[in-house]
Every structure is written in structure tokens, then in C-alpha cells.
Amino acid sequence: MATKKRVRRPAKAAARRGSARKAARKTAAPGSDRRDKATIRKLRQELAAALKRIDELQASADTDFLLGIPNRRGFEHELQRAVAYIKRYRASGALILLDVDRLKPINDAFGHAAGDQVLKAIADALTRQVRASDVVGRLGGDEFALLLWNLSETDARAKAAVLEADIDGLAFVFDGRSIAAGASAGVTILGPHSDAATALEEADRAMYVRKAQRRHEMPATGRANKTFVQAANPQKRGHA
């Protein structure tokens, strides 16, 4: 006598397996969904905090600690982006390199705190003279750089002269003595065929030519034209 073959019904079998899994979840880990969601929220918060910290570190790596403006790394990034934009959209701009005169003698005579006061005042003077879209940076030591948008060569040279005059007009009082700094500016124009590294070299050469010219010029006229900056307890020579 033939044995009747038993046939499993797929639908019922799947339903039984699904019920078994649900029962296992309820039995093995009551409240696990809530814990999983809490863990996910915590991980998302930690990730957001880590990304924020990365942004902060990136910004600090591109910023001059003393002056709060782009350092060489940050300014070169801005210049590279500007050159790419100028090439793509046929825009124009100007690069001005500015070297502070007599900063080393001020550091030597009155200490680096006095030199820092000079640098801060110069950074403020430069920032007041540019638009929000322009960039002022410190390349290091006594050298600043400005990225100015949509200026002709004539306008850029006129702006450089204004910047020199503003800095020449600053005077500082250290140990009861009135001290002036001054600055020399070199200009190069940015166009569709510009290169960031070459532009920096050209502006640097122009700045040294201008520095040599200024050595043979008469000094700025009198104390009445100067804006005095009183030093706030500069450290004495020999202290950093």
C-alpha cells in the first residue's frame, strides 16, 4: 500500500516562522527597540560633535592665532580659489603684498609684546580699508597680503598707496616714546591667465622694489597727521 506524501504549505510555514521570530524578540530582548534608537541618537550626536570639531581645527589651521585673519595657508587657499574663479568667469582682481617697515627694531627695543601691538593695529587698518568680499591675510612675520576683487591696475595701485599712507599715519607710544612703523606695498593684477604661485612671486618682487624706493623718499610729514596708539603695558626687551 503506497504511503501518502505529506505536502507542507509554504504560506503556513512562513507564517509560523514569522510568529516564532516575533516571539523570540519579545522573549529575548524586551525594550531593545528603545535602546537601539537611543544608541543611534547618541551616535549621531557624537558624529555631529566630531564633525564640528574637525571644522574648528580646520579653521584654526588656516587662521593666524594673534590677529584672527587667514595665515599663509589660509590665504593661499583663498588665492587659489580666487584664481580658479577668475579663470572660469573671466573676472579680475588684484593681489597686494605689504611688508611692515621697522618691525624688527621695535621688537628689539621694546619686546615682542610691542611688536604684536603694531601688527594688530596694522591688521585693523587694512581690514577697515577693504570690502567684505576681499581677503586680508598674514603670510608670516611682518608680511601681509590682500586679495581685492574687480580692480583695474590703476585702482589697485591707488589702493596700495592708500594702505601705505594709513599705516604710515599710525604712531605707537612705548616707554613714553612715539614710534612709527610704516609699510611698503607691491601690486600684481589677477586675470584669466594668472597662477597663484606666480602672482605671489610677482607681488613680492614689486614689494621689494617699492621698499627700495621708499628708502629714498622723504619721511611722512608731521606728528599732527599720525594716529597714536597707546601700548597696553608692553613687555620689556628680552620677553616673548
Catalytic residues: 142
Question: Cα-atom radius of gyration of the chain, to the nearest Å?
Answer: 32
Using DSSP bridges, classify how beta strands 135-140 and 227-230 pair: parallel, antiparallel or unpaired: unpaired
CB 73 within 8 A of CB 101: no
Reduce the DSSP state of residue 8 to 3 states and report it. Answer: coil
Q: What is the Cα–Cα distance from 196 to 73, expressed in whole angstroms?
A: 13
Go through the chain and tell me how many residues it has: 240
Reduce the DSSP state of residue 38 to 3 states and report it. Answer: helix
93 is written with which cell numbers? 582682481
